[in-house]
Amino acid sequence: MCGIFGYCGGKKASEILIEGLKRLEYRGYDSSGICVGNGSKFSVYKRVGKIKVLADTLPEKPFGHNGIAHTRWATHGGVTEANAHPHTDCNEKIAIVHNGIIENYQQLKDKLLVKGHKFKSETDSEVIAHLIEEVFNGDLTKAVKQVLPMLKGTYGLIAMHVDCPDVLVGARNGSPLILGIGNNEMFLASDVNAMVAYTKQVVYLNDKEIVTVTPDGFTTSDVQDNAIHKDITMVETDGESFDKQGYNHFMMKEIAEQTEAIKRGMVGRLNVDEATGHLGGLNMDNAQLLDVERIVLVAAGTSYYAGMTASYLIENLVRIPARVELASELRYKNIIVEKNTLYFVISQSGETADTLFALRELQRKGAHVLGICNAVGSTIARETDGGVYIHSGPEIAVASTKAFTSQLTALYIFTLLMARIRHLSFEQGKEFINAFNELPALIEEILSADDKIEQIADKYYKSQSFMFLGRGINYPVAMEGALKLKEISYIHAEGFGAGELKHGPIALINEQTPSFFLVPDDALRDKNISNMKEVKARGGKIIAVCTNGDDEVKEIADDVIEVPKIMPCFYPFLLVVPLQLFAYHCAVKLGRDVDQPRNLAKSVTVE
């Protein structure tokens, strides 16, 4: 979950490293540091806090032309300058930055202590620098290759040595590392976003691969010293996504971008003439899709709720069983892979550790696994058997918003394709597409009512706890709404199926605990209204999200947010937007760091 960055070339390394870190800060922001080669010694600077703290305290004197940098999400050891990266060896000739977890670090550390090594931190990462010190004999690449088999766990790491000027050595295993190729300069980073301002040419490293870079070239190999040929990929990302463009926070910008993100996700994928969907990246023809008898969707966090929403739609329209699994649980199950089952792994970053390891376990057992992700060239995108890019654009805020609706877009198109192969008629498919095409304009309508949502937030933001309740396909949306509120405002919130109210959650109802009800005009509307009355009878405050003009809901609820009418299965797209906005405004009013909430990181690349 940490961000690592390395540079070697002819420019002032410190400036490039700081700029790279700023684009990686969403991966961790407990502390940060840089190490720059400066002749016969390293210059190392570390600070607790965000990148700005480090940048503001760096000396103005020139630095060297190669270096490494790190922004930390703490795992082993507290948030201190000593525990911040880069870490050095005893003689401060070797420096490393590391993303991942070394599971056997304590055993390695104990052996190094016996040999007289002095440690300066509590981290697992520091052992890597000392291990390299033990075996170094003039060749940094060779030393790294000797050390890697000793490490049990995951790593994306970059190493440098005072005696090897203009050389960086990178390696990955279970944690991303990407090479960027510039004009007489090279970059290494855990995310392509860190280097996109300097180059569009990248090389994606696979697990157990090692890269040695100098300003004018690179070589890739494995631990056994076998050369590996790597293809250069051109990336399309530009710098605009890293500008707030007038918004106070990236999160608000990304909420507003959902209309365009959904449009991008639909382009070329809705076949009006045949009233079906088209997803060429699946690498499966209609006959193969017809053989599919069940769907399993694997994900974590917001992606899990997107998958859960899709499972309702698949069972309703495709008429085959569909279930969603938490990646962190699935990877440790003795998974039963059934014939004619199609698996999807869903991840915004394409690097989510639990989801990636679940993917690999499924494939080991013979499963056919497709991916849904946002990051082109990510590990999940490269290792799945096919899949769909959601094309939502970079998401900088830690709390995911536009990725949720973009993932739904991809999953809804897949469902349309599957349903048309089976039971859905041409006219029904056409109606589905027409409703799909209405979504961007309807979401714009909801966004235009943001002032009212802010007023409701102003009324409730001091509450200590919230309940979010929905039914059917909108039950996962209730859980996603609760997740958004707790993520960025730190207010306790729980999402429930409204039918479960009487089975325990109703005990929590009081005047200080508002209930958020999702009550669109669908087949379960009357059931939801009955649940609302149960809460009202016990003195609970109710905020309802309902369809425009629903006077019955307005009579019961204390506050109402209205959304336009649409085909009922599309309400998740509309209902989630007010919940995102409500969470945002509560967080702002409480003075929270909306884009970088405490204890969280954007890309969960460690277990």
What is the secondary structure of 93-161 as a DSSP string? -EEEEEES-BTTHHHHHHHHHHTT-----S-STHHHHHHHHHH-SS-HHHHHHHHGGG--B-EEEEEEE
Residue 34 pairs in a beta bridge with: 45, 69
Q: How far apart are CA 302 and CA 310, in angstroms?
A: 13
Confidence band, pLDDT 50/70/90 cuts, at residue 26: confident
Q: If you average pLDDT over residues 473-491, what whole number do you get? A: 98
- Whether 367 shows a pLDDT value over 70: the answer reads yes
Helix (H, G, I), strand (E, B) or coil at 541: coil
Percent share of the chain, pLDDT over 90: 79
Catalytic residue among 46, 484, 486, 602: 602
- What CATH code would you report for 3-237? 3.60.20.10
- Whether 305 shows a pLDDT value over 90: the answer reads yes
* Superfamily of domain 449-595, CATH level 4: Glucose-6-phosphate isomerase like protein; domain 1 (3.40.50.10490)
Nearest residue to 371 (alpha-carbon basis) of 264, 279, 282: 282
Lowest-pLDDT range, 37-46, 135-144, 590-599? 37-46
Q: Provide the 8-state DSSP code for 206.
A: P
pLDDT of amino acid 366: 96
Note if 602 is an active site residue. yes
Confidence band, pLDDT 50/70/90 cuts, at residue 196: confident
- Whether 331 shows a pLDDT value over 90: the answer reads no
- The per-residue pLDDT for range 252-262, each reduced to its tens digit, is 999 999 999 99
Hey, do 244-446 and 449-595 end up sharing a CATH topology, with the first three levels equal? yes
Note if 2 is an active site residue. yes
- Joined tokens for residue 109: 């550390």
- Whether 1 shows a pLDDT value over 90: the answer reads no
Q: If you average pLDDT over residues 157-173, what whole number do you get? A: 94
Confidence band, pLDDT 50/70/90 cuts, at residue 600: confident
Query: Is the Cβ–Cβ distance between 119 and 126 less than 8 Å?
Result: yes
Residue 63 or residue 327, greater confidence: 327
Q: Which residues are within 8 A (CB) of 383 and not within 5 positions of it... i.e. 6 or more apart?
A: 356, 359, 360, 363, 371
pLDDT of amino acid 444: 97
- Sign of the Cα torsion 119, 129, 196, 359 reads negative
Looking at every residue in the chain, the average pLDDT score rounds to 93
Confidence band, pLDDT 50/70/90 cuts, at residue 469: very high
Nearest residue to 581 (alpha-carbon basis) of 471, 461, 437: 461
pLDDT of amino acid 193: 83
Residues in the chain: 607
Confidence band, pLDDT 50/70/90 cuts, at residue 119: very high
Q: How far apart are CA 205 and CA 224, in angstroms?
A: 16
Alpha-carbon torsion angle 47, 48, 54, 58, nearest 10? -30
pLDDT of amino acid 29: 79
- The per-residue pLDDT for range 70-117, each reduced to its tens digit, is 998 778 888 899 999 999 999 999 999 999 889 999 999 999 999 999
- Sign of the Cα torsion 389, 393, 399, 401 reads negative
Q: How far apart are CA 5 and CA 178, in angstroms?
A: 9
- Joined tokens for residue 428: 């029904």
Rounded to 5°, the CA angle 104-108-109 comes to: 115
Q: How far apart are CA 555 and CA 164, in angstroms?
A: 74
- Whether 605 shows a pLDDT value over 60: the answer reads no
Q: What are phi and psi of 102, to 5 degrees?
A: -95, 105
Lowest-pLDDT range, 306-310, 393-397, 427-431, 572-576? 393-397
Nearest residue to 421 (alpha-carbon basis) of 546, 588, 290, 261: 290
Into which CATH architecture does domain 244-446 fall? 3-Layer(aba) Sandwich (3.40)
What's the start-to-end Cα distance of the chain, in Å? Answer: 9
CA distances from 586 to 36, 250, 457, 579, 583 (A): 42, 16, 6, 11, 5
- Joined tokens for residue 51: 């990148």
- The per-residue pLDDT for range 44-81, each reduced to its tens digit, is 999 998 888 998 888 876 578 899 999 987 788 888 99
Q: How far apart are CA 419 and CA 85, in angstroms?
A: 51
Confidence band, pLDDT 50/70/90 cuts, at residue 239: low
- Whether 265 shows a pLDDT value over 60: the answer reads yes
Q: How far apart are CA 561 and CA 372, in angstroms?
A: 31
Catalytic residue among 2, 8, 35, 586: 2
23 half-sphere exposure, CB direction, 13 A CA radius: 24
Residue ranges covered by each domain of the chain: 3-237, 244-446, 449-595
pLDDT of amino acid 64: 80
Q: If you average pLDDT over residues 210-234, what whole number do you get? A: 93
In 360-437 the beta strands, taken as DSSP E runs, fall at: 368-373, 387-389
pLDDT of amino acid 238: 57
Q: If you average pLDDT over residues 275-284, what whole number do you get? A: 95
Query: Is the Cβ–Cβ distance between 359 and 377 less than 8 Å?
Result: no
